Chains A and B, each alone.
Chain A
Amino acid sequence: MLRALTGWRVAEAVTFGGGSAMANQAIEVIEDADWAAPPPRIALIQDGSQPPITEHLRFLRAVRAAAGDYAQIVLALVGDPDGDDPLPPIDAFDFSDWQRKIEQMADPYLRLEMLAPGEPGAADEEDR
């Protein structure tokens, strides 16, 4: 699903979102990565059913700082997991909440996307 969205091959996946230790670990992976074909390309899969808060935006800035100014970052939003469907599409209204916040970041290499439904997805991933 992610490949269909970005065309990128997933090289490594780490989890974030559980607290500062988890976030720092993800940032370290980005910092230590040996990018085979720069610029770095990072896909973040995020539950968009809750509105963006400062913690989310700080993590995005930390990813940007670790990956460099020209790294391509895709923030792929999914909806609230529902029964057998762990990656349902995000509600359009929730997406617009995120869109507003991401636009305020004025980051030209940060792209916000809806992760299309259908195939079973992976956890939070990054490509290198």
Chain B
Amino acid sequence: MAADCPTLAIMGHPNAGKSSVVATLTENDRIAIDKRAGTTTRSDKYPVIIDGVTIMEFIDTPGFQNPSDILEWFQTHPREPDLARAFVEVHRGDPLFSHDCELLEPVADGAGIILVVDGSKRIKEKDRIEMELLRLTARPRMAILNNLTRIDKHMSAWQDALNKAFNSVREFNAHRATYAERIALLSALKSIDQRWEPRLTQVIDSFERDWERRIEASVDTIIELMKRSLVYKATRLVRVADLETQVDRGQVQERLREAFMDGLRQLEEEAQAEVRSHFRHNVWNVPPDSLLRQDLFSEEVGEALGLSKAKMIAAAAAGGATTGLGIDLALAGGSLGLGALIGAAAGGTVGLLGGAAVAKVDIQRTLGVERFTIGPVTNPRFPFILLDRIILYCARAMNWSHGRQAADEENPNKVPERDFKRKRGFTESLPADDRKALAKFFEAAKKGRDSNQEERCRESLATVLRGLSTSELDDRVDL
């Protein structure tokens, strides 16, 4: 193994979850993972690259096929100084042992070992054989108890057995592990070989810096989404001759309202795609039962996210909305401009806004045409709901393991589970001053102006995202 690049072979019985562990540790959701046994038939290298530099390498190996034979060979060759190398050299040409040579080759080359075991099942004879033969290789080794189920009654027996043969034993759910749990696992690797400690410290520093960059990039995405959404308008020009009745005018307004809402949905989708990219998700998107799959303007979303009425009034007042929520019910359309204002109506009422309009329609007549404009958003609840939605999306993206492709969704979401007092959206839980700062920022954004509150809002959002990635904040798993 190259001294400056820790290399670890992920080993274990077929179907123990080796590929899921590699996918999660390397954040590579394109590694083939199949619930069926024997999906991995050769050793594949998965480097961890940060800033173009390979800082660590994991090798996904096939499962053991002849563990008893390997152990017996090891036991009958006690004088071999390097058992893994010697076994590979003797058996390389034997097709019966092709998988075993493939999985021992990295160990023969000096890689450290991570044994992955399925902690939900009882320890079998074959498991003990695999533990013992890996102990005999004398390589630095860690064992991972990869329990993907709720069955934990065998875990202590596993711990006891593994402690006898491995330098370190960790519980790690490859389908549910968060960023914090990945870092904890990497930190534990330091203990299996003291020579790796300086390099692994660098690796963890690189991971943490990279994660911080992703949080900052996500904050940029969120701020940009809010700015673009809050100035967004939809416009339609219609010849006066085509507007013979109020029904015609109503239809134009209805289509315009739909176009406006579609535009806002599109902006949200673009922001979500950016977040996925920040957290290196190529395959994942939110599950079908998530609130994030509900329409942005649906009642369910409106009820679950955004600020409560009392907090909304306080925040709106701070943001400069002189009449608080009442402003939404007023007719808008103050822009007389060159044309004559001939009428204005509230935009369609939608569930999330509790019956209030999301924006107003402005209609101007000039030179034989009527110009219908809807937007920007006037409802003060909308930005908080949109913000809560994108934070919720970030929470899912940052804590969604890349090895989760074949996960059983009925199983626990995280290891360990933590109980949090149920709250609604994320913004509801912010300190009052932060909510007021957000309201002021939103008000400025609606007018297309820079806000002196933007920096404070950025810091507040980054704190929320950091809290979510370290599980200090509830990630609203039930939403």
- Given the known inter-chain contacts A50-B13, A54-B66, please indicate yes or no for A20 contacting B96, CB distance below 8 A: no
* Chain B hits for A55, CB < 8 A: 65-69, 126
Does B119 count as interface, using CB distance less than 8 angstroms? no
Among the stretches B32-40, B251-259, B417-425, the one at the interface with A is: B32-40
Q: By the criterion CB–CB under 8 Å, are B37 and A20 in contact?
A: no
Find residues 413-446 in chain B having any chain A CB closer than 8 Å to their own CB: none
Q: By the criterion CB–CB under 8 Å, are B66 and A53 in contact?
A: yes
- Given the known inter-chain contacts A50-B124, A55-B69, please indicate yes or no for A93 contacting B99, CB distance below 8 A: no
* Chain A hits for B124, CB < 8 A: 47, 49-50
- Given the known inter-chain contacts A53-B66, A54-B66, please indicate yes or no for A20 contacting B72, CB distance below 8 A: yes
A81 to B121, CA, bound (A): 9
Find residues 8-56 in chain A having any chain B CB closer than 8 Å to their own CB: 17-20, 47, 49-55
* Chain B hits for A51, CB < 8 A: 13-15, 37-38, 63
**What residue in chain A is nearest B99 (Cβ atoms)?**
A54
- Given the known inter-chain contacts A50-B126, A51-B38, please indicate yes or no for A80 contacting B121, CB distance below 8 A: yes
Find residues 31-70 in chain B having any chain A CB closer than 8 Å to their own CB: 35-38, 63-69
Does A103 count as interface, using CB distance less than 8 angstroms? no
Query: CB < 8 Å: which of B63, B121, B125 contacts A49?
Result: B121
**What residue in chain B is nearest A97 (Cβ atoms)?**
B37
Query: CB < 8 Å: which of A49, A50, A53, A80 contacts B65?
Result: A53
**What residue in chain B is nearest A59 (Cβ atoms)?**
B68
**What residue in chain A is nearest B75 (Cβ atoms)?**
A19
* Chain A hits for B64, CB < 8 A: 53
Query: CB < 8 Å: which of A17, A54, A80, A100 contacts B96?
Result: A54
A54 to B125, CA, bound (A): 15
**What residue in chain B is nearest A23 (Cβ atoms)?**
B68
Q: By the criterion CB–CB under 8 Å, are A53 and B63 in contact?
A: yes
Does B122 count as interface, using CB distance less than 8 angstroms? yes
How many A-B pairs have beta carbons closer than 8 Å: the answer is 56
Find residues 100-133 in chain B having any chain A CB closer than 8 Å to their own CB: 121-122, 124-126, 129
Q: By the criterion CB–CB under 8 Å, are B125 and A17 in contact?
A: yes
**What residue in chain A is nearest B37 (Cβ atoms)?**
A51
**What residue in chain A is nearest B122 (Cβ atoms)?**
A80
CB distance from A72 to the nearest CB of B (A): 27
CB distance from B68 to the nearest CB of A (A): 5
CB distance from A46 to the nearest CB of B (A): 11
Find residues 60-105 in chain A having any chain B CB closer than 8 Å to their own CB: 80-82, 93, 96-97, 100
CB distance from B231 to the nearest CB of A (A): 53
Interface digits, B3-18 against A, CB 8 Å rule (1 contact, 0 not)? 0000000000111000
CB distance from B327 to the nearest CB of A (A): 58
Q: By the criterion CB–CB under 8 Å, are B69 and A97 in contact?
A: no
**What residue in chain A is nearest B68 (Cβ atoms)?**
A19
A51 to B64, CA, bound (A): 11
A89 to B15, CA, bound (A): 19
- Given the known inter-chain contacts A47-B124, A51-B15, A80-B121, please indicate yes or no for A20 contacting B68, CB distance below 8 A: yes
* Chain B hits for A54, CB < 8 A: 65-66, 96, 99
Q: By the criterion CB–CB under 8 Å, are A20 and B69 in contact?
A: yes
CB distance from A60 to the nearest CB of B (A): 14
* Chain A hits for B63, CB < 8 A: 51, 53
Query: CB < 8 Å: which of B36, B37, B72 contacts A19?
Result: B72
CB distance from A82 to the nearest CB of B (A): 8
A-B pairs, top 10 by smallest CB distance, nearest first, are A51-B37, A54-B65, A51-B14, A19-B68, A53-B65, A51-B15, A97-B37, A80-B121, A55-B66, A54-B66
Chain B interface (Cβ within 8 Å of chain A)? Answer: 13-15, 35-38, 63-69, 71-72, 96, 99, 121-122, 124-126, 129
17 contacts between A and B (CB under 8 A): A19-B71, A20-B72, A49-B124, A50-B14, A50-B121, A50-B126, A51-B13, A51-B37, A52-B37, A53-B65, A54-B65, A54-B66, A54-B96, A55-B68, A81-B122, A97-B15, A97-B36
Q: A53-B64, A53-B126 are in contact. List 6 more A-B contacts (CB 8 A).
A: A20-B72, A50-B15, A53-B66, A54-B66, A93-B35, A97-B37
